[in-house]
Structure 1
């Protein structure tokens, strides 16, 4: 197959930027724990201090010897500090450890109406051993034209997430309609709207659990005025839950399944059983 050099170079730049983003110092590859907060102040694994919530506010009580400082200001935590979040919000709240006191960042998160904390350790072996996400080779056949059919109003669809204790909501703004190589019929995937009108579709396909994670996602630029879109499945990527058991990533809506093997985009980051 004679593939234009410019197309390969664009895909390679996309891959380089994707791997660079994943390798951020306190990014998704550094998650090392997840804890729901309880009403009684309690110690947790992998983070000093006593953590609690009254349902609307999260609290942390610590002494200077714990070595905790606020991420935003660098101020030491001596006594009790509090924070409040809306649902689905996160806050890189406090940090500790390492030569500069910032090896581990503790993220406060509100998920399904409950407070939780996650530790992000820049010395995590998942990060230090990372050398890029495995992918299928670039194949222009997986770049297909489609159209976007918007709903009159967005529809909130209940969904599951990578954490069985967390329910999610998919705000469907319409359907992306397209055909794929090797399939005789048309596909329709519900889409969410992102910044600047871009669309994201979260989908299952027949490679899931074999060469790819249980589901993946694909973003498209903002539809053109006539509704046309381009879906480049070479740019299908994993959710963070493919790399860590501590994600709360959204599953696809019920009918966002493709009954063929989409042999394009990112593969399982680790061999099965590793």
Structure 2
């Protein structure tokens, strides 16, 4: 972007606090950096990778059968699994269900998930090198020119837009509540991006830009504070972050709505994570 602006000490300090909080959240116990598998459950009891026991589903309920020798305990109660346990979820729900391994029996947590109306499990291993070697996400230097003024144009009613996800076998839905509209130097037209609603009226925008696949992941997202009464918003692309699928192949993260693209290099925010 032309005519670079110098960041103030206060701006840099706020951004550095944001980065510290973001890296700490990623490094949480059994967080996204610990994912080591994603596996669909079958109709007949069967072994799965990285977790003991026999796992299955009848389409409505997930079932696990194990013995005390398998070393599985329920995450919620710590009770040993000896026999058969079941769980039922709605689509898009997840449950940190059982755990095993390590000195305390809690190294690996097995998450039960319902995706695309099918049951799957994901293993979350605190010994994963992606987690143990994590030293923060690389980013562009803070650039105040990527703090953009725009406006939010809400829809009368939310619109569900079909989208893909990071897992080609899982379809998703983006509940668009309106469009964020702004201008970027170097782009002749206004940029319009579908937005989802977050807590307290904030917005979440998932987008492509020309850095994708080069210095950044295939897509990123940015949270926008609640629009002002006149509809104006501030979009700080220095706070653009990766989805979990940038760190692990086992995520089912939503892709941008078709056309949610910025036709320039947004050289701000998080870059491709280090190997």
TM-score bracket for the superposition, by shorter chain length: over 0.9
**CA deviations over 1:104-156 (Å, ceiling 9, x no partner):** 00000000000000000001000011000000000000001111000011000
**CA deviations over 1:141-197 (Å, ceiling 9, x no partner):** 000111100001100000000000000000000000011233232100000001111
2:87: which partner in 1? 83
1:237: which partner in 2? 241
Distance across 2 between alignment mates of 1:2 and 1:253: 33
1:261: which partner in 2? 265
Question: Alignment length, in residue pairs?
Answer: 271
1:56: which partner in 2? 60
What SS does the corresponding residue of 1:204 show, helix, strand or coil? Answer: strand
What SS does the corresponding residue of 2:17 show, helix, strand or coil? Answer: helix
- TM (norm. structure 2) is 0.97
Structure 2: give runs of 5+ residues left out of the alignment: none
2:196: which partner in 1? 192
What SS does the corresponding residue of 1:200 show, helix, strand or coil? Answer: strand
Tell whether 2:156 aligns with 1:152.
yes
TM-aligned CA deviation for residue 255 of structure 1: 1.0
Distance across 2 between alignment mates of 1:107 and 1:121: 11
Distance across 2 between alignment mates of 1:152 and 1:260: 30
Tell whether 2:17 aligns with 1:13.
yes
Structure 1: give runs of 5+ residues left out of the alignment: none
Determine if contact 2:6/2:144 at 8 Å carries over to the other structure: no
Determine if contact 1:160/1:168 at 8 Å carries over to the other structure: yes
Tell whether 2:45 aligns with 1:41.
yes
Q: Of 105, 111, 120, which aligns to 1:116?
A: 120
Distance across 2 between alignment mates of 1:126 and 1:181: 37
Distance across 1 between alignment mates of 2:186 and 2:29: 41
